[in-house]
Amino acid sequence: MKTIFYFLVFPGFLFALIVGMVASYIERKVTARVQWRVGPPILQPWYDLLKLFTKESVVPENAHLLTFLATPVLFMVSATLVAMYAGMAFFFPDAAFQGDLIVIVYLLTIPPICLILAGAASANPLASLGASREIKLVLSYELVFWMTIAVIWVKTGGELSLVNIMNKPPVMYSYSGGIASVLALFVMQAKLGRVPFDIAEAETEIMAGAYIEYSGPLLGFFKMGQYILLATLPFFISSIFWGGVNVFKYVALLVIVILVENTNPRLKVKQCLKLFWFILFPLSLVALILAVVGL
């Protein structure tokens, strides 16, 4: 019962959703300010969501209905699970379990998969293209992500628990940890699907990619999942690299995401792959070697 409370209300669904909506508001507002605009009102994410849930859902004729309906919900659920595990380690250290690090990282791959399946099930060429881009994006950043996690393991002596990692001195204050934490920022940007890594959504190229056929509540589930991820990922990165979370660290990470988003054009899939595999991966290898050496 307690677990279900964790899951649905506090650090899980409701909490993460609200934080995510605030974060999304901050994102849109700061973006607007950077672009000399006023930006939306504070309740805008809430209005968007509410509106989506009052609309009807249209499903393409040729789509596979069950997959089409289930993937958005699964997207949201898996994002919530991540939020819950990450949040529990911070708010209820006693209830957290050993080795949640790997579990969280693994769970983080589920939302992209739901997106891919959703795109594939839409029976739309542009959605398929979006799905194919998303999976390539996952392939690109996953390697670097694991490398940065490995740096943490080495620095903390094989620690698999978020609570223990947060209790140790922050990883980022070392050469290897510094490099790894910078790389993790790239990964976070990619995982959030923000510019320059918004290749899977690329509105001006493939309309909305995998989301193209989604409407109404189904799109609303995706939106909720995205808000939750937006709330969770900076939280997670901050807790493993910056030695815990507080409002300042969180907002700082959010601002980094927003600034990068607003000062870069979108990359191509190939360039993305090249960036992660041939530039960032060797860097992460250097970080790992440094970590093993003890720097």
Binding to another protein in span 93-152, by CB under 8 A = 97-100, 102-103, 106-107, 109-110, 113, 116-117, 120-126, 128-129, 131-133, 135-136, 138-139, 142-143, 146-147, 150
Interface with another protein, residue 292, by CB under 8 A = yes
Closest C-alpha to 77, from 3, 1, 8? 8
Q: Report angle CA 200, 179, 274 to the nearest 5 degrees.
A: 35
Interface with another protein, residue 295, by CB under 8 A = no
Range 224-243, binding another protein (CB under 8 A): none
Closest C-alpha to 127, from 64, 223, 206, 196? 206
Interface with another protein, residue 175, by CB under 8 A = no
Identity of the residue, 9 or 251, whose beta carbon is nearer to another protein in the bound complex: 9
Identity of the residue, 77 or 229, whose beta carbon is nearer to another protein in the bound complex: 77
For another protein, which residue of 169, 173, 203, 279 counts as binding (CB under 8 A)?
203
Q: With CB under 8 A, what is the number of residues at the site for another protein?
A: 120
Interface with another protein, residue 217, by CB under 8 A = yes
With a CB cutoff of 8 Å and minimum separation 6, the contacts of 76 are 221, 222, 224, 225, 228
Cis peptide before 196 (omega within 30 of 0): yes
Contact 205, 170 (CB under 8 A): no
Interface with another protein, residue 190, by CB under 8 A = no
Interface with another protein, residue 4, by CB under 8 A = yes
Q: Hey, what amino acid is at 186?
A: F
Interface with another protein, residue 164, by CB under 8 A = no
3-state SS class at 44 = helix
Question: Cβ–Cβ contacts within 10 Å for residue 165, how many?
Answer: 23
From 51-59, 184-192, 230-238, 243-251, span contacting another protein (CB under 8 A): 51-59
For another protein, which residue of 17, 19, 77, 172 counts as binding (CB under 8 A)?
77
Task: Give the single-character DSSP code of 275.
Answer: I
